Structure 1
Amino acid sequence: MARIRDVVVIGAGPAGTGTAARLHQRGVRDVLVVDRARFPRDKPCGGGLTGRAADALDELGLRLAVPHAPSGVARVRFGTFERAVALARPVNVIRRADFDASLVEQVEALGVEVRTAARVEALDVGRDAVSLRLDTGEELAARIVVGADGVGSIVRKRLCRGQRHSPHRLFVQEVEAPASGCAMLYDFTPMREGLRGYLWAFPLADGRANVGVLHYPSTRLDGPALRRMLRDGLARHGVELSPRGARGWPAWGYHPRAPVAASRMLTVGDAAGIDALTGEGIAVALEHGRIAGDAAAGALATGDFRFADYPRTLRRAVVGRELNLDRWLAARLYQAGPGWQRWVGLALLDADVLELYAARVAGTEVLADQKLRLLRTLARRWAQWRRRRLELEAATS
């Protein structure tokens, strides 16, 4: 039998490297990170490092050590309506290929072993360890396995066996930058055409832009339809999508009742669920990594590998409470029926709501702690729906 390691982390993205970094901080040295890709490798993502992501990097002892474009303004648009919202702390836009490779280098510098081009094909949970088989034929064993392997996570599949869910869809491409300068664009106009989400255009450090669409699974749209919405939406901003088209990617939205742990197994990052409202995954991944690292270190210290408290710990942490609030809002803003129009009027046309979210993006406010304030604001605006509807109709005429 293979030597039993303390922890094997499957996946070397921000969730996996974040977990490894936290384990190192907690004094756990027998850690192996495996990933099926060779780094640098790309991943469809908006690439925005919010204030929460910056704080999580600091807590993990990691650095932003790659070229990035700081953006201190978010432009929110629906039809002809547009509002610019200043951010107290800029969002740093990165390329995932560069950023993820940098995180791998940083944890390797700590002494963590990272093995790339090695895909986990099978795992089996025993009484004393988890056995894993790589596509190279190598056998591994670990007291704890952390699934940081994204939407196709082998650990998530094991935990969610028999469950059926519809994923979010993201389509992303890099293009010549629009004329919006350093501002980040969030355009909800394509919701008129059936999108349940938004189009984004985020500036990159070299004058290009990361562009894409996020679609919430309340309705079904195929890949060609989403690419068309991205192409047409960008054309309204004077940006041309390249002939090769955008790359598509599924992503699981967070749900508080989805299984995230079992005996000797944890999930983090995309494997546990992204932000259903915004699609944000990097900050979530890093914050999950810190929590999972603490849970794994605690299990090694006590010998209790059931991880019975891990789901509750995730839910009660800031990241879990923020994810749950955004899940609630996404179900309303991105609903399939006509009610989405009222929620667009409430959430997008209201300066107070946008300022609250800007503070959350900057990392200066925990919106879940301001839930009553947010709901009261929405309730006041609900009573003003007649005027909001006229504004909405004017924006779409």
Structure 2
Amino acid sequence: MPKVIPFKAVLPNKAFTSLVVSRSYETYKKKELKAKLAYNPYSFLHILTPGFKFQHEISGEQRFNMVKNRYLEFHERDIYEYSKKECYYIYQIETHHDTYIGIIAAASVDDYKKDLIKKHEDTIQKREEVFKEYLKVVGFNTEPVLLTYPDNDVINEIIANITASETDYQFATVEQQLHSLWRIEDKKQIELIQSHFERMNAVYIADGHHRSASSYLLSEEMYNATGNTNYNYFLSFLIPESNLKISEYNRLVKGLNGLSKEEFLFRLDETFRIENRGLELYKPSKKYHFSMYLDGEFYSLYLRKSKYNFPDSLSKLDTQILFKTILEPILGIYDLRNDSRISYGCGKDNIIKMKKQIDDKEFDVGFGMLPITVEELKHIADAGLQMPPKSTYIEPKLVSGLTIYEF
């Protein structure tokens, strides 16, 4: 049932590709961003940071208009070029440890509205509105929403056959990743891929809830006003469920909500069986098990299931259990998005980073858990529920400026 269509992408001129593409804008620290802008005039970051040209910080609608101007300048300098045919694009990312491969396409806003594109995360209305206005002014979308779909043998075979041929684009990044892109131009292959997506019950948002929500708002406003059908779709990267990688976020908390260490441990003992692990870098190996670092020592926390109810799929998530048994009732953290006492960590060696931050007195206690599975993500989405914030760190992380979808 989901409608996934080919489109005419705007792509970098091959001579500039490796210089143009960038990580997501939000991942750059201030000094790194400034260096990229200073030493690479072709970086897509110049489009996203248009005030750099005048050494002036700008925001709001003025920034949006200047983003559009920088984008037009890149066209004028032949840094970007238009595809001549409507295509699907096979996109592959190779890292030291993993290879991700899927299809870049345009996904239907109507499917988002009908819940054929399923969500597992709540969105913030203000962010939706701001990004909707951004898209409306600039007229293009360059960061695909990451969608995942059930593994499909026919689609896999088409991908395998095409990727056995020479790439249309290939480039490496300073993050030591190899990126490859192939066009799917053959009409029969396009129709076959499209028909197999239409046979699926649904696809799922893995990453990009605000981007998809903003695209929906934009479609509601602009299609009715202009009749432009491009507003009915948004840029997406569709990846099989088996190729999706989900890692966990740790929770770090400042203070013990007025409790002493002993009082805090006594409160935990009501719901958890606790074992002191000393200096062992303990990571849980099962659901409903948690690691905790407190006052220079690691602890394992095992949920006493008789003390906890499991009425729905949300209640079975480790992130929700941690919230409902510790963060909210004991530490007094009710707003996981906005409470300044809580922070989140993810990535390689995260448990070591958590230990260091607590040893350095930045935080007082930290918690770790197993990653959420794709099946858990789907159960939450199917039930129309939302996970707590920072429940999943999902890979692959996509580059900006490679395939652009214009409205």
Higher relative contact order (CA 8 A, sep 6+): 2
TM-score using structure 1 length = 0.28
TM-score using structure 2 length = 0.27
